[in-house]
């Protein structure tokens, strides 16, 4: 790191305070395990306030990743946004490397992708929050650098009590001067299975457009309620030898009138036709094979705001998970309703 580590001294938290907060890293305090450490919940006295925290403790075989540890601290210490996780501090003491964030009660989005209780409206709001975070890191007036995230996926999106999205996972991020945001930069591309831009894999150099591609994969997962690996496996179900990339996966289902085959049951019934169409168009805009042609976050948010307004104005509750109302429909009515929506989608693609 070119930045002096001493500039982060104000964020240092003594190891004994973290041990006390997590009950000495008790197994009962474990929130989860990831590629970059074990997460512990706890309560920490911070600036005179007792707050709920998530402490990510690098395991011994991960402590060699010194660069990623300091990258995350460096990047997050300069960011403040309602849709980005809040950095509380860190510990680099007695061989321990720990990063402390404010605790987000619902955990990662990956746990909820396939949950039918996560409504279409909630999914749209999560997409909106992530898009706001990406726009902020890519460009913020008055900041003399932009950030390429390189790690956008459902596991790095955390949700608070209100299912508000918080972007995390900044250990692979790259800072770049604002006048070079569309250029390839000389930094190693990080491969996140299923999420990495094919163009980035080809060139070895990430750009902001690489993040937009990853975001498009995330949108596909949120809409369909399936991970990208599950979407890829859809080719087996429909006896297609190989679907080469996420862009054709979505197009494939639309063109063959199979959108219902990759959506959570009843999700189409929560969607307005225009809402679904705009979402698909925006997703495909993120996944365009040519990075230059990919949608900007400003344009995406314009479309999504319109989509949310229309959906909130017109949506009808159809299951007990929405507003506590349960409405009975015959299977014939549901099939007819879904078919009409799919037909409209195919006509515009």
Distance between CA atoms of residues 133 and 149, nearest Å? 10
**pLDDT tens, per residue, the chain with 349 residues:** 445 678 899 999 999 999 999 999 999 999 998 878 899 999 999 888 999 999 999 986 655 568 889 999 999 999 999 999 999 999 999 989 999 999 999 999 999 999 999 999 999 999 999 999 999 999 988 888 999 999 999 999 999 999 999 999 999 999 887 655 444 344 566 767 778 888 888 888 899 999 999 999 999 899 988 888 777 665 544 444 444 455 556 666 655 456 666 778 778 888 887 788 788 888 889 988 899 999 999 999 999 998 888 888 765 444 434 333 343 333 443 344 344 433 443 343 3
pLDDT confidence of residue 233: 65
Within a 10 A sphere around the Cβ of 210, how many other Cβ atoms? 28
Residue 254 belongs to domain with CATH number: 1.10.510.10
Q: Are residues 208 and 279 in the same domain?
A: yes
Q: Which domain holds residue 150?
A: 107-348
52, 70, 102 - which closes a domain: 102
Provide the CA 63 distance to its chain's centre, in angstroms: 25
Q: Are residues 135 and 18 in the same domain?
A: no
67, 102, 137 - which closes a domain: 102
Residue 27 belongs to domain with CATH number: 3.30.200.20
Phi, psi (degrees; rounded to nearest 5) at 59? -75, 165
CA distances from 147 to 80, 141, 143, 260 (A): 13, 13, 11, 37
Query: Is-contact 298 135, C-beta < 8 A?
Result: yes
Q: Are residues 78 and 206 in the same domain?
A: no
């Amino acid at each position: 790191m070119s930045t002096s580590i001493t500039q982060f001294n104000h964020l240092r938290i003594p190891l004994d305070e973290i041990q006390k907060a997590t009950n000495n890293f008790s197994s009962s305090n474990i929130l989860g395990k990831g590629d970059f450490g074990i997460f512990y919940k706890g309560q920490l006295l911070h600036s005179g306030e007792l707050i709920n925290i998530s402490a990510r403790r690098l395991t011994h075989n991960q402590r060699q990743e010194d660069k990623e540890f300091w990258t995350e601290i460096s990047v997050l210490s300069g960011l403040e946004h309602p849709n980005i996780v809040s950095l509380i501090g860190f510990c680099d003491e007695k061989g321990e490397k720990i990063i402390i964030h404010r605790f987000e009660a619902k955990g990662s989005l990956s746990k909820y992708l396939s949950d039918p209780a996560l409504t279409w409206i909630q999914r749209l709001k999560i997409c909106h929050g992530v898009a706001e975070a990406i726009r902020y890191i890519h460009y913020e007036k008055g900041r003399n650098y932009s950030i390429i995230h390189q790690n956008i996926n459902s596991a790095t999106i955390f949700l608070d009590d209100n299912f508000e999205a918080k972007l995390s996972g900044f250990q692979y991020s790259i800072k770049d001067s604002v006048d070079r945001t569309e250029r390839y930069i000389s930094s190693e591309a990080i491969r996140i299975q299923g999420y990495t831009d094919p163009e980035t894999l080809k060139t070895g150099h990430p750009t902001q457009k690489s993040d937009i591609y990853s975001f498009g994969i995330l949108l596909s997962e949120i809409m369909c309620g399936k991970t990208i690996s599950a979407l890829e496996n859809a080719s087996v179900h429909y006896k297609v030898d190989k679907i080469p990339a996420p862009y054709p996966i979505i197009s494939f289902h639309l063109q063959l009138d199979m959108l219902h085959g990759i959506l959570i049951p009843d999700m189409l019934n929560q969607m307005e036709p225009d809402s679904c169409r705009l979402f698909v168009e925006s997703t495909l805009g993120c996944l365009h094979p040519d990075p230059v042609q990919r949608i900007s976050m400003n344009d995406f948010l314009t479309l999504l705001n319109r989509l949310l307004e229309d959906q909130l104005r017109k949506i009808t509750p159809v299951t007990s998970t929405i507003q506590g109302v349960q409405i009975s429909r015959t299977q014939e009515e549901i099939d007819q309703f879904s078919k009409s929506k799919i037909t409209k989608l195919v006509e515009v693609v």
